[in-house]
Amino acid sequence: MKLEWTAGNRIALLENGEQYYPRVFEAIARARQEVLVETFILFDDEVGRQLHTALLQARANGAEVHVLVDGWGSPDLPPDFIEPLTRAGVQMRAFDPVRRLFGQRINLFRRMHRKLVVTDGQTAFVGGINFSVDHLAESGPKAKQDYAVQIEGPLVAQIRAFCRAALATPQPRRTSWLRRWRAQTGAASGLADPDAGAVAALVTRDNADHRDDIERQYRAALRRARERVIIANAYFFPGYRLLKDLRRAARRGVQVDLILQGAPDMPIVQTAASLLHPHLIRAGVRIHEYCQRPLHGKVATVDDEWATVGSSNLDPTSLGLNLEANVLVRDPAFARLLRERLDALIEEGCSVVKLAPPTRLGSAWIQLRSFFVFHFLRNFPSWIDHLPASEPKVAALQAENP
């Protein structure tokens, strides 16, 4: 999929499940022609049941309804959840349905991690929010902090076409390196008039011709940055090239702020990111840990001009293995709003990471440990590529075999 910028879009920032779910469920429930849903996680809980009700209402309206879940992220939907949907005509599918060996799931890698919704070809939602109750504050201290966008305008047609194609062909085959290079070098051309509404594009990542598209867009934005960069990312352990661009931006005087997990849902996430702290802080990057609850967002804004919201973390699995989707936005009003919300997050819920005075032995150990862990994780996706792997399939999800 070649990156194609379109103008005339209306894009609304949605923060957490409290803002996201009412908009999504309303749009689905009033759909008359078509509903397309892709999600990594769909649970049979309060939120999943509200989606269930909205999908049934769309079918009652006469809409064609397709739901694609990930086989790893949503492995245990019960028959009494699936059967009423399939009986009503909802097309339920799973990406790479879960496979087990001695009761353990074995198909961990190359997941469908996207979160996309399109209704009637008129409204789309893109972000990092799954359909599960842990995206609502009422679920307690483990409730996730996250973001999505609601889109109306020409970009919706692109997102719809992408979702339709994914129903039957989950991952395109690789083409030659020359065709990939030609597609990539043309990716940033043809920008529309920014005065005609928000200029935006859908950027995706797969394991064929778009293996580093999202990372390249982050890096290009960092290289263009002049004043301010804010990146909020739940699982942060990017490769050397993106780290280098972060450091270079800070060294040339750009204020670079990273918001990372301080109350992680998985402790290893904070431990891994901490290995990069000295490397970044000494270059002038400011690191903030969000401590009120787990950060699940994958957003960034640059110079109050450029922004991205989506499903892609900046870690080896998102940048090197999973299927991801982000929206890129070139609109000062939207970029400024996102920056203000992230600044509020820093002010109200973050602590600044500071380096402890190093000891000679401690410093040497940290550097040695960081070296091995960084290069292991950096090369992790390429090692996985060499392991035997079956072609991921999209399969119908049946009540008798969830």
Residues serving a catalytic function are: 113, 115, 120, 296, 298, 303
Alpha helices by DSSP H, 225-359: 240-251, 267-274, 277-281, 316-320, 332-349
Give the CA distances from residue 234 to residues 173, 307, 310, in Å, rounded to whole numbers and listed in that order.
Answer: 30, 17, 12
**Amino acid (1-letter code) at residue 137:** A
**Spatial contact of 194 and 331, defined as CB atoms under 8 Å apart:** yes
Give the CA distances from residue 173 to residues 60, 134, 176, 211, 392, in Å, rounded to whole numbers and listed in that order.
Answer: 37, 35, 10, 12, 11
Q: Considering only CA atoms, which of 106, 328, 117 is closest in space to residue 205?
A: 328
d(CA 393, CA 302): 37
First vs last C-alpha separation in the chain: 31
Q: Considering only CA atoms, which of 276, 184, 203 is closest in space to residue 235?
A: 276
Which residues are within 8 A (CB) of 351 and not within 5 positions of it... i.e. 6 or more apart? 262, 288, 289, 291
C-alpha radius of gyration, the chain, whole number: 21
Q: Which single residue is written with the structure tokens 């109050």?
A: 304
d(CA 127, CA 129): 6
Show the tokens assigned to 224.
Answer: 């263009």
Alpha helices by DSSP H, 117-252: 155-168, 177-185, 213-224, 240-251
